[in-house]
Amino acid sequence: MSPIGKVFLVLNLALAALFVGSAASLVGTSESFRTQAEDLQAQLDTKIVDTEEQIMELQSQLTNAEGAKDRLAAAKAQVESDRDALAEDLKTEQNQNGDLRERLAGIDGKLGDLESTNRTNTARIGELNKEGRNLRTDRDDAIDNRDSALKAKSSAERSKDDALRTNDELSIALGREIGRADTAEAKLAEVAKLYKVDLKSLNAQPDLSGVVLDATYNGTPVVVINLGSQDQVKPGYTFDVYNGAVYKGRIYVETVNTHQAAATIQMNGNAQISAGDAVVTRL
């Protein structure tokens, strides 16, 4: 073999050895890459599973968030509805307050009229009380004179000496006094009948006069007057009620506070009791 052939032979052997070494190295490297690829695939599979679980968890949270959103929207709608209702209620209350203010102004005007009427009625009550006292005085004087005449007559009957003459004189005087007593008694009875007054109870209560503040006939009739404990009114007192010449009946006091008293109707009169009527304990 020539030297050149030997050189090529050695060179081929060297290249072959180099190829075999490179191939072995490549096979080892390929195996390492395959192992790394399998590890990466396993990690990727694990990551995919974790990612899918996270996606499911996020979807569940999204569903819950959407439900919470719907509930908040419903709550918001309810709040807005309540707000609108409250606004309507406020408007209604404002309108009612305006009506109440107008009614209060009207009541103030009526109170002024009632005060004027009360002053007039008080003056009239004073006159009637004076007339009643005068009638009672006349009646008492007539009764006293009648009793004196009867006593004198009895004494005259026991004294036979001047019996006839004294009896005639006393009979004449007695007739006059009885006439006066009967006249006074008739006047007082007429007043008592007109106002339905029980003459036996005239001195049971103090002289009081006032006016009716309110009278309601829903269920049991109740009458409120402007006299109370500061005016010496007590439960059980009775008041006669009238308006001008119209007698409206008698009321019976049930409860009393400082400035007012509430009463029920004890006896009906010629008309229904109403605010502004006069009340008196004695006629």
Select, from the ranges 59-63, 154-158, 186-190, 241-245, the one with the highest average predicted confidence (pLDDT).
Answer: 241-245
Average pLDDT, the chain: 81
Contacts of 211 (CB under 8 A, 6+ apart): 114, 117, 118, 121, 225, 226, 276, 277, 278, 279
- Dihedral sign, CA of 214, 215, 221, 225? positive
The domain 205-280 is placed in CATH, from the list 2.40.160.40, 3.40.50.970, 2.40.10.340, 2.40.110.10, at: 2.40.10.340
Q: What is the mean pLDDT of residues 169-188?
A: 59
Q: Where are the domains of the chain?
A: 123-199, 205-280
Select, from the ranges 83-92, 191-200, 257-266, the one with the highest average predicted confidence (pLDDT).
Answer: 257-266
- Kindly state the DSSP code that residue 254 receives in the 8-state scheme: E
72-86, 97-111, 190-204: segment of lowest average pLDDT: 190-204
Q: Higher pLDDT residue, 32 or 215?
A: 215
- Side chain identity at 158, as an amino acid letter? R
Q: How confident is the model at residue 1 (pLDDT cuts 50, 70, 90)?
A: low
Q: Check residue 233 and give its pLDDT.
A: 96
Q: How far apart are CA 214 and CA 241, in angstroms?
A: 13
CA 112 to each of CA 216, 232, 274: distance values in angstroms, whole numbers, following the listed order: 21, 25, 17
Q: How confident is the model at residue 176 (pLDDT cuts 50, 70, 90)?
A: low
pTM of the model: 0.32
- Dihedral sign, CA of 215, 271, 127, 251? negative
The H or E element spanning position 234 is none
- The answer to whether residue 226 scores a pLDDT higher than 90 is yes
25-29, 120-124, 236-240: segment of lowest average pLDDT: 25-29
Q: Check residue 175 and give its pLDDT.
A: 59
Q: Check residue 166 and give its pLDDT.
A: 61
Q: How far apart are CA 131 and CA 195, in angstroms?
A: 14
- The answer to whether residue 201 scores a pLDDT higher than 70 is no
What is the SS3 assignment for 224?
Answer: strand
Burial of 249 (0-12, 13-18, 19+ CB in 10 A): buried
The H or E element spanning position 242 is strand 238-243
Burial of 46 (0-12, 13-18, 19+ CB in 10 A): exposed
Contact 256, 228 (CB under 8 A): yes
Q: Check residue 121 and give its pLDDT.
A: 74
Q: How far apart are CA 125 and CA 132, in angstroms?
A: 10
Q: Higher pLDDT residue, 264 or 52?
A: 264
3-state percent breakdown (helix, strand, coil) of the chain, nearest 5: 70, 15, 15
Q: Check residue 128 and give its pLDDT.
A: 75
The H or E element spanning position 251 is strand 246-256
Q: What is the mean pLDDT of residues 144-165?
A: 72
